[in-house]
Amino acid sequence: METVRSTEKVRCGQLSSIKYRSSIERCLTTSHVMSSVSLDQKEQVATSYVTYADLECVDYKYLLCGLSDGGVAIYDTSVVKEGSIYGEVGSVKGGQRGTHKYQVECVQWYPADAGLFSTSSRDKRIKIWDPNRMKVVDQFDIDCHIHHHQMSPVATKHSLLAVAGDSGEVILCDLRSGTSTHRLRGHDGAVRTTQWSPRVQHLIASSGCDRTVRMWDVRGSHPFIMALDANHHAAESFRRNKKIKRIPQAHKSQVVSFCFTHDGLWLLTFGRDGELKLWNSTTGRKMDVSYGEMFTDTRRNLRMAVTPSMHPDLVFLPCKSKVLVLEILTGRLVNVMSGHFSTVFGALYNPSSMNLYTFGNDHNFITWTPKIFDVNELEEDENRTLDLLELPKRQRVTQDNWSSDED
């Protein structure tokens, strides 16, 4: 936003090119502070084992946590109380009325506002909550164990909630009607994760235990678009040539995490084979980016996080007890964040505060704070440059100084 304002000021003649360059440098520098992330032992959440978390995308303040006992809790990350604990907005402990029977597998805020949120569990239920009363206002009963669910962040023409479960189908539930409307069939085995495109509201991707990542268009009667192929065979040929029996696979093992970039142009996938891959979300083609050798020791879903509107864009990838920070388009390793004692289950990035939240199998919820960049050096350089520009200009050696009689 600062860059947009600066560009407009330059266009109107209100900002010099020197100051504009300085403002651009400030914006670009914010993307490099992640190379010096430090562990913040002060700000934590006072709760039991966090199994999944989500941050509302309106004010980026309210942190929603799913708990191991089937309960939920909401924290205000802008308020820190005594004992350096995030201020609790509301919570429901496991065992109370309305909570899940087993641990919460997934939570999500309603994308448009913080007026409701959803939770799911292996008890085959998706619950819709009113955060003001911390009460369940609706519920979907699914005929299989649930691993993940998600609502579209950009939908304006539908209110579908996609469910990934053991049935091998992506189940679409309509929040308006309260019923299951569609089932996307094609996976051979359990569906582990679903992700709506942040760019196209009717486009959804799903990953399964069958090592595949499939793209779907929920508008038509034949929703399947393509399956991502790590062997560089065109996904388009698989879609059109029905004689091909080989099913394209994205990884050599189960896909444990994947997500779209903020602009929806790229798709990142991570499998138990230890490979992180980048795909063109439109063509389905695998990009030639090497992220190096990685490992994971879990079969459960992992939540990776990507940065919005940064240069360069970064991905935070849970890798055993560490979190790797990598440049998305180059694969360069920016940082390795060590603080957990066991497997990290998820990472959550706050674009407002630039903090990173991680949670894992060691029952710890950790806040990571980026290094605060001191802009004094940039301002001093800018002032020195302006002083030089204000000095009297020397006349050129070859300049003609004579004047004619006519002048």
- Domain ranges (residues) in the chain: 1-30, 38-379
Which residues, 6 or more positions from 377, have their beta carbon under 8 angstroms from its beta carbon?
A: none
Amino acid making up residue 161: L
CB 64 within 8 A of CB 107: yes
Phi/psi zone of residue 145: left (φ > 0), alpha (ψ -120 to 50 degrees), beta? Answer: beta
CATH number of 38-379: 2.130.10.10
8 A C-beta contact, residue 176 and residue 160: no
Each residue's pLDDT tens digit, 372-397: 655 565 566 556 655 555 555 444 44
Cα angle 280, 206, 305; round to 5: 65
Give the SS3 label for residue 238: helix
The pLDDT value recorded for residue 157 is 92
Threshold 0.85, pTM exceeds:
no
Instruction: Please check whether residue 402 is in contact with residue 71, taking contact to mean a CB–CB distance below 8 angstroms.
Output: no
One digit per residue, pLDDT tens: the chain, 407 residues? Answer: 444 444 455 455 555 554 544 454 445 444 445 666 666 654 567 666 899 999 999 999 999 999 999 999 999 998 887 766 888 999 999 999 889 999 999 999 999 989 999 999 999 999 999 999 999 999 999 999 999 999 999 999 999 999 999 999 999 999 999 999 899 999 999 999 999 999 999 999 999 999 999 999 999 889 999 999 998 654 544 454 555 566 899 999 999 999 999 999 999 999 999 999 999 999 999 999 999 989 888 889 999 999 997 888 999 999 999 999 999 999 999 999 999 999 999 999 999 989 999 999 999 999 998 876 555 655 665 566 555 555 554 444 444 454 555 55
Burial of 54 (0-12, 13-18, 19+ CB in 10 A): buried
